[in-house]
Chain A
Amino acid sequence: MNFDDYTRLINKTEDYIEINLGKQITLSDAAKNVNFSEYHFHRLFSKYSNETLKQFITRIKMERSAIYLATYSKISITEIAYKYGYNSSSSYNKAFKKHFGMSPTEFRKEQERKRNNK
C-alpha cells in the first residue's frame, strides 16, 4: 500500500465520519467501511497519521459540536451530546473540556460574548 492508497483510505474514513457524526463510531465500523480488517486498518491509520482513529473521531466531533452549540444557543448541552453520539452529557462535557480546555457552557458563553463585542 502506497501513500496515495493511504490518502484515499483516510478520505473515505473522513467522509464516513461526516455522514455518521451522530453515531458512536467504532474501529470495526470504520474498518468495515473501507473493507479492511480491524487490525490492518488500525495499523495503517496509526502508521500514517499523527492521531489514532479514536482521537481523530473525537476531534472532529468536538469541533463540529462546538460550532453547533455556539450557533444554537437555546439547545441544551444534553441534546448536543446525544446529537454527536455521546450517551450522556457528562461524557460529552469531559471530552469537550479535554479538547478545548473549557466546558461546553463556558465555550458557548465565550462565543456569545465575542459576538456581542463585535
Chain B
Amino acid sequence: MEKPNITIEYFNTRVIYVRFKGSYVAFRKNGRKLFNQLFSFATEHNLVIPGETKVLTIYHDNPFITDAENLRTSVAMTIPNDVEINEIEEINVMTIEGKFGVGHFEISAMEYEAAWQYMYHEWLYKGSEKPRDSFPFELYVSEPPKRLKDKSFTDIFIPIE
C-alpha cells in the first residue's frame, strides 16, 4: 500500500443511512443488501446527483472495546442540505459535522485494514493531532472495483480536535 496524502478538513454534510448491528463479519455478509436498500431509496426519491453523491461506511464503535454483537456500522449516502426526507423503512437522516484528518488512499479491497492501521497507528498516534470523540468513516471517492485485487480511491476520515 502506498502512503496516502493526508489533509485536514472540516466536514458538514447530511446523509441518509441504514444501520447494522452485529460483528464486522456479519456486516460484510449483509453489506450489499444494505447498500442496495440505500440506493433503492435514494433512486426512488431522486437523491442521487451524478458526480456529486458519495457513499460512506461509518464505524460507530471501537471493535477493541465493544462486544462484536453490539458493533454498529452504517452505510450512508450524502444528500443535499435542503432536501426534505420522509424517513421510511429503515432509512434515517443525520448530519456529520466536525474536523477530520483525511487519508486519501488508492487501495484494493484487501488493503482496507492496512489503511486503517496506518491512519491510527502511524498518523494519529505518532503525530500532533488529537483524536476527537466521534466516529470515523470511509468515503468512496470512486466506484468500488469489480475484482478484489483492483484498486479504487477511498478517503478515510478520522475525527480530530
The answer to whether A and B interact is: yes
- Chain A residues with CB under 8 Å of chain B are 4, 7-8, 11-12, 14-15, 18, 21, 59, 63-64, 66-68, 71-72
| Stretch of B6-14, B44-52, B59-67, B139-147 with 4 or more beta carbons under 8 angstroms from chain A | B59-67
Interface residues on chain B, number (Cβ under 8 Å): 21
Contact of B72 among A8, A14, A72 (CB under 8 A): A14
A to B contact number (C-beta, < 8 Å): 36
Given contacts A14-B60, A68-B133, contact A63 B65 (CB under 8 A): yes
| Stretch of B87-95, B105-113, B148-156 with 4 or more beta carbons under 8 angstroms from chain A | B87-95
* Measured CA separation A18–B96 after assembly (Å): 11
- Chain B residues with CB under 8 Å of chain A are 17, 19, 60-62, 65-66, 70, 72, 87-92, 94, 130-131, 133-135
Identity of the chain A residue whose Cβ is nearest the Cβ of B92 in the assembled complex? A11
Do residues A67 and B19 form an inter-chain contact, with CB atoms below 8 A? no
Do residues B66 and A63 form an inter-chain contact, with CB atoms below 8 A? yes
* Measured CA separation A14–B19 after assembly (Å): 11
